[in-house]
A and B are shown apart, each in its own frame.
Chain A
Amino acid sequence: MSALLSVTDAHVAYGKVEAVRSVSLEVGANEIVTIVGANGAGKTTLLSAIMGILPLKGRVTFAGQDLARLDIEDRVAMGLGLVPEHRELFVTMNVEDNLELGAFRIERSKAKASMERVYTLFPRLKERRKQFAGTLSGGEQQMLAMGRALMGEPKLLMLDEPSLGLAPIIVADIFRIVTELRASGVSVLLVEQNAQAALKIADQAYVMELGEFVLSGKASDIAANERVAASYLGFQHEGESAI
């Protein structure tokens, strides 16, 4: 079976600086794939480029289709979703409106059922549904950002640092939900600095350093690797300079 998302030899540059170099990765159906690595390794850049926010040199296919000429909006309509690091919520609109807009490209008859599903996953959002997104706590905003992306019925959800700045108990909740998503048939590409937690739930993993993948394989194997511990803690090794 061919992969749901396949990235081949991707380069992403900010002007002359290449932030991502020659990266290839695959995400299969019903799979959680994680990219771990230190701050500044290029993980966010890679996700942004897969989504079409940044220009990418190389080949990206999703559900068998080349994404090269497609805008962000077309990729969303195809079932590719991104929850960005800064969440990009509609802060002056209430929770329900944010969710409703998440289903902008979905038939309106389906949107109602999607919203119920999101409320089941995140009961907290239902309690706060008339509250402005900007007034939610960090954890609730992360839930809303994920909920909004799920409203678009993605086949693959890309999560950028979902645990950043959140209390451990909420982080655990979010990781539990990520595994529930896999069970319901949504693949997840998870970018995390919290490598331990990410590797625990992922099927496959890639380790990113200075814009390149230095290791890849089964998440359980990667978790057992000493180099990952070093990378996670941000140590220098093998003569490379950390950012």
Chain B
Amino acid sequence: MNTTIMLFLVQDGITNGAIYALLGLALVLVFAVTRVILIPQGEFVTYGALTYASLAAGQMPGTAKLALALGIGAFAFDLFVARKALHGRLIVRSALTNIVLPAIVLALTVYFAAQKPPVAVSIALSLVIVAMIGLYLYRVAFQPLAHTSVLVLLIASVGVHLALQGLGLLFFGAEGQRGPAVLSGAFTAGSLRFTGQSLTVYGITIAFIVALWLFFGLTLYGKALRATAVNRLGARLVGIRTTLSGQIAFLLASVIGALSGIMIVPITTLYYDSGFLIGLKGFVAAIIGGLVSYPLTAAAALVVGLVEAFSSFYASNYKEVIVFMLLIPVLLLRSLAAPAVEEEKD
């Protein structure tokens, strides 16, 4: 192997690793706050990517309708839970966030899809649509189970993943799609060629990580999220609702997922079911970080990206196998280093 190939593989690995880092961070965040292992993270990726690609191609994405349907479901759940103490303000507020908002977005989507919107509009719409799906999914599928065990939440998570994947096939068909590059053009530095898209990936990943860091370090809501992750009862005793933290976590995870998808879909053809494998690689990174450490997860994600790039060069048939094999020594070491911990009681 010569230096050019090696540098090329490193570059490729870092690009993928950056995406895995974002996804891994989202998984750690959601698990720490809600104890949900977010298998459908990969579907957020495909939904974001394919919604963006559909819009750019002038097609109406089905995800906008799904958001409205889930929103109506969330509204029904809100009303059912508050049935004994219904009051006007609660109904109006729930209707605004769960029905009016997705309805407006649906109308905008229909309007823009007919006229091939500019890239920025497609991105914004895709992000909002997937963010709403994430938010309502939490309300419908996970919030009612918030007090149950990690295992029950995991089963629900698998169910949501399968449902979303099936719906993905319905919305986008079995054909793969590609989207337009966010930043076109390229330049060469030495023997390396940087495309605008890969620079976009680096830029957005770094910007997002910095933004998350500021959010968690400086804002009251960011701190509230951390507090919920550290001590759920303590958080409730200062008046932080577990459901509010869960909503913010799911909102962030779905936005991160969609953004990752929008960043990859100009580089790789994505199918309705591609998200699962991508999400799993983020999951590998998150596991290496022990589902708690953000810096370790980000670093592990880069390693995962690099291992994937090199193994696809040397043994492309086995590249997934090699990536997932990374887990075995890590789990082995972890199980030796720390004895099994009883599940946290609530």
Contact = CB atoms under 8 A, between A and B. Distances in A.
Contacts of B124: none
B84 interface: yes
Contact of A77 (B220, B226, B239): B239
Given A76-B239, A88-B233, A91-B231, 6 more contacts: A69-B84, A100-B223, A101-B227, A102-B238, A104-B239, A149-B237
Nearest to B85: A69
B84 A90 contact: no
Contacts of A81: 237
A69 B233 CA distance: 19
A72 interface: yes
Nearest to B232: A88
Interface of A: 51, 53, 69, 71-73, 76-77, 81-82, 84, 87-93, 97, 100-105, 108, 148-149, 151-152
A241 B231 CA distance: 36
Contacts of B237: 51, 72, 76, 81-82, 84, 88, 149
Contacts of B240: 73, 101, 104
A108 B239 contact: no
Given A100-B223, A104-B220, A93 B230 contact: yes
Contact of A105 (B227, B231, B239): B239
16 contacts: A69-B84, A69-B85, A76-B237, A88-B234, A89-B231, A89-B234, A90-B226, A90-B235, A93-B230, A97-B223, A100-B223, A101-B235, A101-B238, A101-B240, A105-B238, A108-B220
By size class, the interface of chain B is 10 to 19
Interface string B60-101: 000000000000000000000000110000000000000000
A81 B85 CA distance: 24
A204 B231 CA distance: 33
A100 B220 contact: yes
Contacts of A105: 238-239
B259 interface: no
B241 interface: yes
B234 A90 contact: yes
